[in-house]
């Protein structure tokens, strides 16, 4: 399990797009709410464990 710190308090409207819009579901994107590819960092996470990622994207188990 990832620990995600969110600061947004309101919903974000995504108006109809010509192309797909990818919303971050891993919590690591630096371009929230959009995916920026940082989800690649979560490869190798094990079920039942909790991880924390620092500002540089380095993972440590907590």
Nearer to ligand FES, 9 or 36 (CB): 36
Q: Do you find a cis peptide bond into 46, omega within 30 degrees of 0? A: no
Return the number of other C-beta atoms located less than 10 Å from residue 30's C-beta. Answer: 11
Window 25 to 54, contacts with ligand FES (CB under 6 A): 25-26, 28-29, 35-39
Nearer to ligand FES, 37 or 50 (CB): 37
Nearer to ligand FES, 29 or 51 (CB): 29
Under 8 Å between Cβ of 52 and 4: no
> Which residues in this chain contact ligand FES in the complex, by CB under 6 A?
24-26, 28-29, 35-39
């Amino acid at each position: 399990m990832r620990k995600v710190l969110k600061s947004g308090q309101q919903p974000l409207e995504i108006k109809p797009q010509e192309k797909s819009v990818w919303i971050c579901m891993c919590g690591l994107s630096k371009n929230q709410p959009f995916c920026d590819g940082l989800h690649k960092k979560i490869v190798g996470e094990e079920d039942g464990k909790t991880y924390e990622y620092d500002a540089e994207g380095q993972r440590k188990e907590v």
